[in-house]
Structure 1
Amino acid sequence: MDSTFEVLYGAAFLDLCGASMLTMQLPNHLRELGASLTTVGFIGSIYGLVQLISSPLVGGYADRHNKRSLLLLCFAACGVGYFLLGAVSSLWCIILLRIYLGVVKHSLNLIKSALSDLTAGLSSPKQLETQGYYQSACSLAFIISPPVAGYLIQMHHGYFIIGVCVTLIYSLNAVLIWNRLPMDGSSHSTSKLVKSTQSSPKMTKDSKDFTADASQSLTQKSFWSFLTLPDVDRTLLLLLLTGCFFHSFSAMIWRNSSTLLYREQFQLSPPQIGWLISFNGCVQAVAGLLVKYITKLLPRSLYQLLLACALSTFVMLSIGNLSNPSYLYVFMVPLSVAAMLSKISYQSYVNQTIGKGHTAYLIGIMGSINSFSRLSSPIIVGYLMDSYTSAMSLYVAAFSTTLAAMLYFTVEFKVRINKSKDD
């Protein structure tokens, strides 16, 4: 394997280790500072909004300039931001720092974009292998960092200590990129990162589309031009995208409510929360290895999606009525399988239903939908947990997943009607 790939995998691992250590503890830290659950959700939504606005700008700039230099700048800026985030105790300062981090925290998008550049022109198995290594590095970060942060937060000034550790991690990441990715582009792979992607001879039109998708952005013009393509059934497309939104929205609700739920409903300590999140990461890694056997039993993408919706709904309703936190470890297993099935089956089902000729546009649109879900879910979770019970957000997540399943059924029904008309 080219050392450039190894450096980027290592950078992704360190990036997620550092960011997750602090951000996973942020909701509980805000609660200790006296913030309401709605305020916690508002701060999360502010970060999502800034990311949604800044991602296309940073992604477009990175496609035209030196990704290596921009990555170094992101690591340095994040190191400063996370250090200050761990040091301040004012809610207004935290809000300002989350806005600042929303502007500069694009390192993972840049790494994914760089990997896309490096694999442009390579075979499909090689590209899938690259993504597999990248996902493994990310999963490993979520296995290691939560327990470490759970123990550090219990120390005197624990949140500040975590902020210092995160700053050191980002400094190490910057040194790694500086030393292992030389500025002169001495290797073939490194030269692709130094040069503009527009001038790279191996960058085809499709490769550029996927590079843009790595930043999870899609321009409004591209979105509406796709909806008006003559060979696409717009009703079918909108039903699919609506299903995608409710499915993504349910996942984001769980992501934003789980840490608070562990504390508010189950009264778990920070180390217990850390180990539970780490266990979830382990199960997801194992589920990734077992998914191919599940897909052999359910070869159709629709059945995989429906199974994912059924498992998610069952788990959300069960955890919402759970009194013994020990059973949380049991429910992490089907939840992780459902998450993995959703990741691998949705894109396949969309391609089968709409057609493979629009894959890049579809990925971009779904990236925008995921960004909107990431933006709206934190404040909704905060309001629901503040105004009702801690489990209310899980009931909304279960309802959202059920709506997604109903929409998938509607899409399948419409597809069969269209086929019968053609026959």
Structure 2
Amino acid sequence: MNSQRCSTLFLKPRGRTRIIQCIYVVGFMDLFGVSMIIPLLSHHVKALGASPTVAGIVGSTYGILQLFSSTVVGSWSDVVGRRYSLLTCLLLSALGYGLLGMSTSIALFVLARIPVGLFKHSLSICRALLSDLVSESERPLVIGHFNAASSVGFILGPVVGGYLTEHEGGFYTSSFTCAAIFLINAGLVSMLPWSETPANRNDLNSSNHLSKGCPENHFSKSIHNGSHANNHHLVLRANTEPDCRADGKLRGGFRWTDMSLSQLVWRQLSSVGSKIHMVALSDMWDLFLVRLLMAVAIMLYYSNFSLAMEERFSLKPKVTGYLISYSSTLGALAGFLVGPVTQLYGNNMSALLFHSTVLTGSLIFLYATAPSVWQVLLTSTFFAVSTTIGRTCITDLELQRGGVQASGTLIGAGQSVTAVGRVLAPLLSGLTQEFSPCGPPSLGVVLALAAVGLLLIRIPRWDGRGMKKAAKL
């Protein structure tokens, strides 16, 4: 009986690969659908009769909601499990885009943006799920491939959206198509072999009680920063809810079905609150500050790109569009370089983050001082690569230092920090453009230098703590 139970506790490599590949497809379709809509939103809200000021306020609704909901939804995914949180986000996002397809007034347009702003966190939950499925050494490679697949969708989506817009009612067709894509994603997620997903790693006691009836060598794990996995298998639980044991009971010994709805909601809210409180009190302010500084610097680089190319080099918008597409394509392909580059660095993500930050800051400076279009083309080529690698590095370091037991909370908190950057960047860009077309990237250089200085001070402390942990183990 025990051997039979043990045989169901391991994730077969084929099953794990299948789940990972399906998540890649979900990421691709997600950004493919969203990117069909994004370029059309401002035109549609103006067509509904909104003034430029009202259009700006309406446009900021999504970013403000994302700012406050990212951490909460990410933490909620740690509490209830990836399956239910991911399905909820996909279905409610589909509802939002469906309402957008029926928006014939500004009020309905704003109403449609609310569920999307609150629950469009499917990509963050997918990243958290991938971090659950793979070991720490595999994580940069897998997340890099996921980012690449998502970026390809973001490149192709505007092409399809632009084609549909040329027909009558094109915006509404694009919105309903996007809603259908999210429904397809939800169907795909529901069909994944969730019985083969690994146990949430924050429940170490649950993993230990499962191992009592199994041979000792089956559970040889290397434990580092909260992750426990061997080279071949990951320990599994049939129940994917982190607050539940394999027998379907909560850690207090009660089945979740015996709890009232109010008790269940209260338990989930208290768990979410405790996880957010844990991250808020953690010594990770330096990583989040680096993320914020670099996010704003990168957004300032892109903020007035088309206008700057026209004013500085008399470049036509069509040519600028080709240049942006070229850079986006390179950014997508750069996702496949993350794995080899991290192996070249011996998985030293701190050093890789520092070098990518220095490179990104240098490229922003070269763009701000570029005397010709060819130098802009050269900086765009390497800029796409450095930002892609840096984004993967910062996410991996957050998971390393915070522990994968709260991966959803950590990734959500990172998205909230990026949302703050989205609020600040347009304001700073507008102020600096008053002085020069090169004002935004020049400020971006200053912010990148601040990030480099912070990394120089803090990285020795990170490495020192890492060496102490290794010595204890």
Same topology, TM > 0.5: yes
Query: Cα 1:249–1:388, aligned 2, differ >3 Å: closer, same or farther?
Result: closer
Does the CA contact (< 8 Å) of 1:27 and 1:260 recur in 2? no
| Among 333, 336, 361, the residue aligned to 1:309 | 361
1:159-185 C-alpha deviation (Å, 9 max, x unpaired): 11211221221222223233x326xx5
Which residue of 2 is the match for residue 381 of structure 1?
Answer: 426
Using the TM superposition, name which of 190-199 and 279-288 deviates more.
Answer: 190-199
Cα gap change, 1:309 to 1:52, in 2 (>3 Å)? same
Structure 1 segment 121-270 matched on structure 2, within 5 A: 123-178=135-190, 180-181=191-192, 185=194, 187=196, 195-199=240-244, 221-223=277-279, 225-227=281-283, 242-254=289-301, 268=317
The 2-side partners of 1:415 and 1:187 are apart by 37
Q: Partner of 2:71 in structure 1?
A: 56
Query: Which of residues 333, 338, 345 in structure 1 aligns to 2:386?
Result: 338
Q: Which has the larger radius of gyration?
A: 2
| Residue identity in the other structure for 1:408 | V
Report the AA paired with residue 175 of structure 2: G
Tell whether the 8 Å contact from 1:252 to 1:373 is kept in structure 2 after alignment.
Answer: no
With over 3 angstroms needed to count, the CA separation of the structure-2 counterparts of 1:374 and 1:414, relative to structure 1, is closer
User: 7, 27, 42: which one pairs with 2:57?
Assistant: 42
Note closer, same or farther for the CA distance 1:153–1:357 as it changes in structure 2 (3 Å cut). closer
Q: Are 1:7 and 2:19 an aligned pair?
A: no
Q: In structure 2, what is the Cα distance between the partners aligned to 1:84 and 1:338?
A: 38
Letter in 2 for 1:173: N
Over 3 Å counting, the alpha-carbon distance change for 1:36 and 1:153 in structure 2 is same
Q: Which residue of 2 aligns with 1:233?
A: none
Distance in 2 separating the partners of 1:346 and 1:70: 24
Post-superposition offset of 1:96: 2.6
Equivalent residue letter for 1:52? L
- 2:326 partner letter: F
Distance of aligned partners of 1:159 and 1:167 in 2 relative to their CA distance in 1, 3 Å threshold? same
1:336 Cα deviation after fit: 0.5
5+ residue gaps in structure 2?
A: 1-13, 200-235, 247-271, 461-473
Per-residue Cα deviation, 1:371-398 (whole angstroms, up to 9, x for no partner): 244245347526855x885997862343
More divergent stretch after superposition (336-345 vs 151-160): 336-345
CA RMSD of aligned residues (A): 4.7
Question: Contact 1:21–1:149 (CA<8 Å) still a contact in 2?
Answer: yes
Per the alignment, do residues 196 and 51 of structure 1 end up closer, same or farther by CA in structure 2, a change over 3 Å counting?
same
Distance in 2, Cα, partners of 1:105 & 1:415: 33
Equivalent pairs, count: 378
Contiguous gaps of at least 5 residues in structure 1:
202-215, 228-236, 417-423
Distance 1:86 1:305, change over 3 A: same
